[in-house]
């Protein structure tokens, strides 16, 4: 298991934001991330974790620096993990003419199509390798208590990783998630490239709406916020209504989709509702 290099330490809201990098066995590349440790986190009283998955074109810096999650996590004693959105490097295949496929657009899946299947293993990285590596090096973290959230492509990642990994996360929420990627341009392009055009069953395995249709459990709770002024919502890239319909058909009463009047897709939107999402996770994490 690789050791994290601490590239910088930044004091923030009584705790510290660490800029980390390490060699990933999942992606076989160097991976960068941000880790926020609240002042209350100690080896004798380790902090639970909230993972924040960012959207297209982003890195782990965006949510850490613009998402406004840190002050609320600090107050509640929650550590925050901000991973990158894809593998990167000279040997990593990329579509340099596209912002929505390749580097910066890993879609939190394990690709099966060549040449992407060697490095694009973001699902394995986020759900398995990264928590284990963090737990090994940072004893002030309690990885038995983890929640997950995300924005846009990261909201898709949060929803699907929660639904695909029963019991791994205590809660899930999402900001303007790509809720039904099999039926939007962003998702179809990504799934075609990473899985193949004919592998529709594989697409469904990474589509929150399709996963919810087959979800087994007494209940499913999620907090989702979407801005009515979000151009990507208006263009049919997010499709929260399809996710809501699947929840209704399954009889899940705990699915909250809040349409926020006038808000767009930016970090002004994310930062406005970060408090609600951190507190949503806090309840499930027992803090």
Q: Measure CA 191 to chain center.
A: 17
d(CA 187, CA 280): 27
Among the listed residues 135, 110, 101, 122, the one whose alpha carbon sits nearest the alpha carbon of residue 29: 122
Cα torsion angle, 187, 193, 195, 198, sign: positive
What confidence tens digit (pLDDT) does each residue in 259-273 have? 999 999 999 999 999
Q: Which residues are catalytic?
A: 152, 230, 265
What confidence tens digit (pLDDT) does each residue in 92-113 have? 988 888 899 999 999 999 999 9
The gap between the terminal CA atoms of the chain, to the nearest Å, is 30
What confidence tens digit (pLDDT) does each residue in 46-95 have? 999 999 999 999 999 999 999 999 999 999 999 999 999 999 998 998 88
- pTM of the predicted structure, to 2 decimals: 0.97
Q: Which residue has the tokens 């960012």?
A: 54
Task: Label residue 42 by pLDDT band (50, 70, 90).
Answer: very high
Count how many residues are written for the chain.
287
What is the structure's pLDDT at 27? 97
Does the pLDDT value for residue 117 go beyond 70?
yes
**Mean pLDDT (the chain, rounded):** 96
What is the structure's pLDDT at 97? 86
What is the structure's pLDDT at 219? 83
Task: Label residue 252 by pLDDT band (50, 70, 90).
Answer: very high
Among the listed residues 30, 32, 29, 28, the one whose alpha carbon sits nearest the alpha carbon of residue 19: 32
d(CA 281, CA 260): 20
Residues 133/1, Cβ–Cβ less than 8 Å:
yes
d(CA 109, CA 86): 10
Does the pLDDT value for residue 151 go beyond 90?
yes
What confidence tens digit (pLDDT) does each residue in 156-167 have? 999 999 999 999
d(CA 265, CA 267): 7
- My answer on whether omega of the bond before 115 falls inside 30° of 0, hence cis, is yes
What is the structure's pLDDT at 1? 64
Query: E strands, 94-221, where?
Result: 141-150, 173-175
What is the structure's pLDDT at 43? 97
What are the two backbone dihedrals, phi and then psi, of residue 246, each rounded to the nearest 5 degrees? -60, -40
């Amino acid at each position: 298991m690789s050791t994290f290099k601490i590239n910088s330490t930044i004091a923030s809201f009584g705790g510290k934001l660490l800029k980390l990098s390490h060699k990933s066995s999942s992606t076989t590349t160097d991976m960068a991330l941000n880790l926020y440790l609240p002042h209350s986190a100690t080896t004798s009283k380790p902090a639970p974790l909230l993972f924040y998955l960012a959207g297209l074109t982003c890195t782990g810096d965006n949510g850490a620096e613009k998402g406004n999650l840190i002050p609320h996590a600090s107050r509640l004693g929650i550590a925050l993990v901000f991973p990158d959105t894809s593998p990167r490097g000279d040997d990593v295949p990329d579509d340099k003419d596209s912002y929505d496929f390749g580097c910066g657009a890993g879609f939190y899946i394990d690709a099966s199509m060549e040449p992407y299947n060697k490095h694009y293993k973001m699902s394995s990285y986020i759900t398995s390798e990264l928590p284990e590596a963090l737990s090994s090096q940072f004893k002030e973290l309690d990885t038995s208590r983890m929640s997950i959230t995300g924005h846009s492509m990261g909201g898709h990642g949060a929803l699907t990783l929660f639904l695909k990994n029963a019991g791994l996360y205590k809660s899930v929420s999402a900001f303007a998630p790509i809720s039904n990627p099999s039926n939007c341009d962003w998702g179809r392009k990504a799934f075609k490239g990473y899985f193949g055009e004919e592998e529709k069953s594989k697409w469904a395995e990474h589509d929150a709406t399709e996963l919810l249709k087959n979800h087994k459990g007494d209940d499913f709770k999620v907090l989702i916020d979407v801005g009515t002024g979000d151009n990507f919502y208006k263009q049919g890239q997010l499709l929260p209504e399809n996710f809501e319909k699947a929840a209704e058909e399954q009889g899940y009463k705990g699915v909250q989709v809040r349409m926020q009047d006038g808000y767009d897709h930016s970090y002004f939107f994310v930062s406005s509702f970060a408090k609600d999402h951190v507190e949503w996770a806090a309840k499930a994490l027992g803090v």
